[in-house]
Structure 1
């Protein structure tokens, strides 16, 4: 059997088949709003009402957020948290009414013309591109957004108000920092102690090249507003923000910054342990160069020269803690850091 000849014969027979006639398009059926302007105006008012209801739901969301209690003494409704029910239903209603309004707008007011398009090559020609731009302009015209300001303005108002719940929910992620980013618990006379074990550090205990992870010795501490004693998680957060590193080097290697001539003690310098790039903890020391390397993104700081950045993405030097010794020879702070520790933030000048 000659399969090649059969395939050729089948292909020839397909060429002789009559072309499929163009079925055409059915006769267009006009919608009531296309032929009756009174019905079109009523549909326009319906769409605007739906967008208005969305705006009302947003306002009710904000009222519910600020008025309904949460926590131990929260308001309940049918055994459920009233705040949860109110916030969920009002935000859901806001989105639902916008969706229904847009659907009604498309079904009753936007252009309603059947179109057909022949297949074309994958790459559009310049003429097709021009036609596409014209079609987009025509679509904008047929949507009626320019001719129906009531629909346009109510939609813009409803969508614009939807940004308010987003702002409120972002605010609900946690308390605002206030002035907590500007200061730490370090204060004059507070001892520098070894991390974890909490033993105070005598200047005679450190040899040249030694690097020590340290923290403040907090015996009695209040928050930045002086309102209550720190304890538990708050105390640990305060210690972590005040974490420092000590490095002893030859005093002759130190190039003190202006006004920092007395910030070191016999070659011992103290810097924040928090990288000024994105806040990673730093403790990788190059002993010969006195360079401190951040393991996250390789920002490198020169501890012999006021913690200046010598490499990497960090934009500012490590904050330095001024040191002195107390009457027993232990290292203590002269004051708090003179600048905020950690990464830069939006309010930092």
Structure 2
């Protein structure tokens, strides 16, 4: 009884607002706090200074894009010239960073210092078909007016320049991934591996004897013939297809062998492509006790003891296995090329 009489939760009492009307809430809506004008709102000199700051950031973006193109087109990288390669990578990295950072910080500063900062509450209005066009045009005009882009040509012109140039590095990089017209599964079906090609360490090019590997070791190798490929870009493309992970296990740890693969390994030494069959990331994490290989991108996991079959993750098929043996000097060599295309499964889709 006392609870009902004192406006408890079960009393059903209606709370009165400050003006005497029923609101249903303990206090009235306080509304928005009073707007405090910024320095740039009251001082045109401060606004001009902010405009120059934003334009300077957009210019930094433009300079970054130009730096990227200088590194990409003007810096020539020859075989073995690590100094020029480092210079090119530095220009590419810093150029892209400045291009993206400049335009991003410029837009943030533009919104913070020059665009209107007052809060607006607008009730949803019912749409009237006959007024939709005029209302949409009015909305666009209001947005353009608020950006002040019409009356600040320096800001407008630098933004246009930065916005036009900033996406170009990405376009160039993606265009340069492969310039051939026959890109597809057939390009990935064949690599530099063939019968008799030695497995060598990357990047030293040192041949590997079976006796060099201990149980549990995993070695990153490439075909010895890679050094014969001319052209930096062509060499990288061939290396990407032919890169292999060489593992030595106890022979008794292997599971059932697929018929026809009985001689694909040598005294517990087995080799597979490092290119993940999900989206092509490099598989390089080997756990010797479980014989599992992990792709760091999306956690696809392969079992080396079971011919690199997928045991977890989104990969659609096992890692291609490279048949290996030894030559007369005891060096590890390939028996043949991969018997299936390396890389992501989606490349096989018609």
TM-score normalised over the length of structure 1:
0.48
More helix by share: 2
Greater C-alpha radius of gyration: 1
TM-score normalised over the length of structure 2:
0.48
